[in-house]
Structure 1
């Protein structure tokens, strides 16, 4: 120990910074009741909507710490060739969550165009679920 006053007391302090990585152990699963859907040509459209498609997405926290402000974004393929709609979301059930549905952005429509667009064959097998 010394009786003198130090000229540079900041030399005796050090700032420690230790990054902590937290892995929340979230488990995401999904299940659907319809694994294949056929889109028919314009002249053979059945009347009314097609078969009901239900999908269930679960987010489970398998960790020991609560997770807050979690955001899950789902992109559902709803438009085909020339923006022809073949899927419409009619209901969302969410436990302890807030859901926001955003429809696809509208493209400007030319005057006198038909409301039903022809559906052309499209292979969606390469699209990730």
Structure 2
């Protein structure tokens, strides 16, 4: 109860009142109800007593302090020379996307959801990334939705020729994507939940397709479905990219190798002939001789010079 003792209150006089409320974080309220009753020692007509009471309902929302991070086991993959589908299931092609949801606030959080999308099929129908197991903790429940047309295990698969630009990014706008919906359990104060999504790259598809560099973009979005809680940030999307490149190797046809050898031999013979004509291979020598009159003769490259001895 508050008591005000002004000397007098004139007509249309307003008196501001400032209230500070403390919230119990263990008992979250949907709204705060405030009731106000005013009376005085002055005489008041009975007909005006009804406006001495007022009530106010204030809806309350609590900001959840959530940390949402991601990590992956690799960001780049180079396609080698293997072409078998079984090779795509080796551990070096397997990817792991791990997302961490941590509660940094002072009250438990419920109603958190994570929505993941992964490029599954190209527009031509070539498999890009599979989506296998989902490992969770803390009572989380996840449902996997594979893209329509995904090849069933054990059935033959037909790959299609497909050409991309030198540097191309593939996401759900340019491919058909798998998706996963995860409903997280209650996230206690200063606790964390982990979601790990695993799958593998389809190496045979990348052999069939023509490209230099492809970037496969996956994304996960955190949502909070609660009438009491709101997230601090606006954008809660986290992106994971895997860059795929082809190993730089080419097979040179046999006729090109033979033609290069013959051309090199022909060029060597031509160069040798030119040097021979130019006298490059002639041996230079000097002969000394004396005639009967005592003159010494010097012979050099077929030319004679005479000197008096």
TM-score w.r.t. the length of structure 1 is: 0.70
Out of 25, 32, 36, the residue aligned to residue 72 of structure 2 is: 32
Give unmatched runs, 5+ long, in structure 1: 108-113
2:56 alignment counterpart:
16
Does residue 47 in structure 1 map to residue 85 in structure 2?
A: yes
2:109 alignment counterpart:
67
Q: Measure the CA separation in 2 of the matches of 1:13 and 1:38.
A: 75
- Relative to total residues, which structure has the larger helix share, 1 or 2? 2
Deviation at 1:21, TM superposition (A): 4.4
Contact 1:81-1:119 at 8 Å conserved across structures: no
Higher relative contact order at CA 8 Å, sep ≥6: structure 1 or structure 2?
1
- Relative to total residues, which structure has the larger strand share, 1 or 2? 2
Q: 1:47 to 1:33 in 2, by over 3 A?
A: same
Q: Measure the CA separation in 2 of the matches of 1:20 and 1:37.
A: 49
TM-score w.r.t. the length of structure 2 is: 0.33
Paired residues in the alignment total 119
Q: CA RMSD in A?
A: 3.1
Q: Deviations over 1:78-121 (max 9, x none)?
A: 222323221111110010201011122459xxxxxx74333433
Q: Measure the CA separation in 2 of the matches of 1:74 and 1:15.
A: 46
Q: Measure the CA separation in 1 of the matches of 2:163 and 2:143.
A: 30
